[in-house]
Amino acid sequence: MLVSGAVWLLLSHVAAHSLAQRNFSSMLEQQANRTMELSEWEQRWQQHRTGFHQLEVHKRESPGSDGRPLCLTRLRLADLGHSVVGVEISEMAIRQFFQENNLTYNEESVPSIPGAKLFQNTEKSISLYQCDLFSFSSSVAGQFGAIWDRGSLVAINPKDRDRYAALILSLMAADCRYLLDTFLYNPDLYEGPPFFVPDEQVLGLFGSSCTVELLQSEEALNDKWRNWGLDSMIENVHLITLKAPK
């Protein structure tokens, strides 16, 4: 999720100890060739296999400097006066968002992205682009003051992470605060998604141009993860900000 006006982009047991003992390169290799086609994500929505979709607010720390919990939905952020931009491949997911929140919306094509659609509420404070994320760019909607990444990097095919990081960096305004949610678990036990993304890789993707701060790390194991064969699921939240130019 992208927020401007601020704009924001809406856009794991192995125990933690045993994870630290392992070679992260070898762990990443377990999922290196795992690929999810865009059509598979569409199919998940159509079949209601959307365990990643939460009806309640996701409670994580705010990208704001006061450290208050981020208990804000896209709708709540818009109510606070922010302009909210989202990028989603599933048209069903976008329509469902507006319908669940009883919002009147308009849709139109996006000339700069063939086949893409833009869905906006009447006030135009919420703009959701239905397209491949890699077709989106700052030329479409500008740069953003904040980015909330829950379920995006961890869903991108592992081979595309460098490309993904480059896109995110191009969307960040100079004062942007990028909040990134990642998972640590034993990839021998589950092939993903969500995919295993170690802190070392987060630093590798963003550390050269950004300051990366680990805000929160907690055990998030629940029955869903256990049913997938996991005995631990560590959820990490990182705050990523651009370094000042030298």
The pLDDT tens digits for 17-30 are 445 445 667 767 77
Query: What are the pLDDT digits (tens) for 198-239?
Result: 999 999 999 999 999 999 999 999 998 899 899 999 999 999
Give me the residue label for tokens 């950004």.
210
Q: Which residue has the higher pLDDT, 90 or 242?
A: 242
**Tokens (6 digits) for 243:** 């370094």
The strand pair at 2-4 and 8-8 is best described as antiparallel
Q: Amino acid identity of 186?
A: N
Tell me which amino acid residue 100 is. E
**pLDDT-based confidence at 92, cuts 50/70/90?**
confident
Where does the chain show beta strands of DSSP type E? 2-4, 8, 60-61, 69-70, 83-88, 105-109, 117-121, 126-130, 144-149, 172-184, 210-219, 234-242
